[in-house]
Amino acid sequence: MELALNDIEVVYGRRRRRNHAVRGVSISVRRGETLAVVGESGSGKTTIAKVAAGLQKATAGTLTWHRGDAVEANGRPSGQRVQMVFQHPVQSLDPTWRIRKSVLEPLRHQGVPHEEANRRVRELIAEVGLDPEVLDRYPREVSGGQAQRVAVARALVSRPEIVILDEPTASLDQTVRGRILTLLAELQQHTGVGYLMITHDISSVRRLATRIAVMYRGVIVESGPRAAVLEDPRHPYTRALIAAVPVADPRIAWDGVIELPRNPDGTLAIPSCPVPGECREHGPGLHEIDPDHLAACSS
């Protein structure tokens, strides 16, 4: 099972205030793998998450499901297939509901019988490493790390194909962050769920991603398998982004500032196209450098 976003364009505002949040973005996530969409503020990565979750209508482009050769168009993915984990775990739970009710909610929507639903919730709460007594508490009575475990349980309880993780560790402390990433990896191995992870944090990408798509100002500038993108980045922005992360070892000298070549209008200038011939033929865009490893020559 594979979720694909095809040539997505999202425009916010009208007329002179028109703002292209996302242009021509195509990504796909399969079960069992993690696609990390990496970018900084304003890159359009959160818009992509919203489109994939059906929370934002795309101005143009389609959302399709693929199983083998069968293609299924689906404007709005149903909650059975896609779930989401948000950045602020405590705020993403209803403060007036006990945690049990929040985790049961997706099953109630699907009409799962009460007894089975309760059994599944208890199983999953144990699986995410929480004491069952947490179910009787309110969100304000648990820590951020515990609340994020609850949010992960709520996302997985309806056995979705794909879970969208929107900055799942950004608001957590470092040691808690490591534990949540480990939990996400374990759950993926047990259930085969696919993750679409939206993040600005390169170190969590290093730990969890199968494939990476790097976004800059609304377009994908590079995408490919984790190792290819991290160890052999081709686009100058990808290089700058990876170099900017301070190395957690004082023995390794770090110089994080890489000047990006810019055109007079402030857009990125890419001095040498990796595949010049193709560009002259098809116009600038993403090119296949190695199998499955794409980089843009202009953005």
Residue placing its CB nearer to another protein in the complex, 73 or 248: 248
Is 39 exposed, middle or buried (CB count within 10 Å of its CB: 0-12, 13-18, 19+)?
A: buried
Q: Is 291 in the site for another protein (CB under 8 A)?
A: yes
Q: Is 174 in the site for another protein (CB under 8 A)?
A: yes
Query: Residue 292 Cβ, how far from another protein at the closest point, in Å?
Result: 5
Which of 116, 136, 173, 288 binds another protein (CB under 8 A)? It is 173
Which of 245, 269, 273, 279 binds another protein (CB under 8 A)? It is 245
Is 15 exposed, middle or buried (CB count within 10 Å of its CB: 0-12, 13-18, 19+)?
A: exposed
Of 19-27, 55-63, 109-117, 249-257, the window that binds another protein (rule: CB under 8 A) is 249-257
What H or E segment, with its residue span, contains residue 143?
none
In contact, 221 and 235? CB cutoff 8 Å: yes
Of 155-163, 181-189, 264-272, 279-287, the window that binds another protein (rule: CB under 8 A) is 181-189
Q: Which residues contact 42 (CB under 8 A, 6 or more apart)?
A: 217
82 vs 196: CA distance, rounded Å: 10
Question: Which residue is associated with the tokens 């195509």?
Answer: 26
Query: Residue 203 Cβ, how far from another protein at the closest point, in Å?
Result: 5
Of 14-22, 31-39, 50-58, 154-162, the window that binds another protein (rule: CB under 8 A) is 31-39
Q: In b/e form, how buried is each residue of 260-290, taking b as 16+ CB within 10 angstroms? A: eeeeeeeebebeebbeeeeeeeeeeebbebe
* Cα dist from 237 to 196, 253, 260, 286, whole Å: 21, 21, 7, 14
Of 46-54, 106-114, 154-162, 250-258, the window that binds another protein (rule: CB under 8 A) is 250-258
Q: Which residues contact 10 (CB under 8 A, 6 or more apart)?
A: 20, 21, 22, 44, 47, 51, 56, 58, 59
Contact pattern from residue 11 through residue 30 relative to another protein, giving x for each residue in contact according to CB under 8 A and a dash for the rest:
-------------------x
Q: Is 202 in the site for another protein (CB under 8 A)?
A: yes
Of 7-15, 82-90, 127-135, 171-179, the window that binds another protein (rule: CB under 8 A) is 171-179
Q: Is 32 in the site for another protein (CB under 8 A)?
A: yes
Which positions from 91 through 110 interact with another protein, judged by CB under 8 A? none
96 vs 103: CA distance, rounded Å: 13
Which positions from 126 through 145 interact with another protein, judged by CB under 8 A? none
60 vs 75: CA distance, rounded Å: 11
The residue ranges that bind another protein (CB under 8 A) are: 30-34, 40-41, 68, 173-179, 181-182, 184-185, 188-189, 200, 202-203, 206-208, 210, 225, 227, 240-241, 243-251, 254-257, 291-292
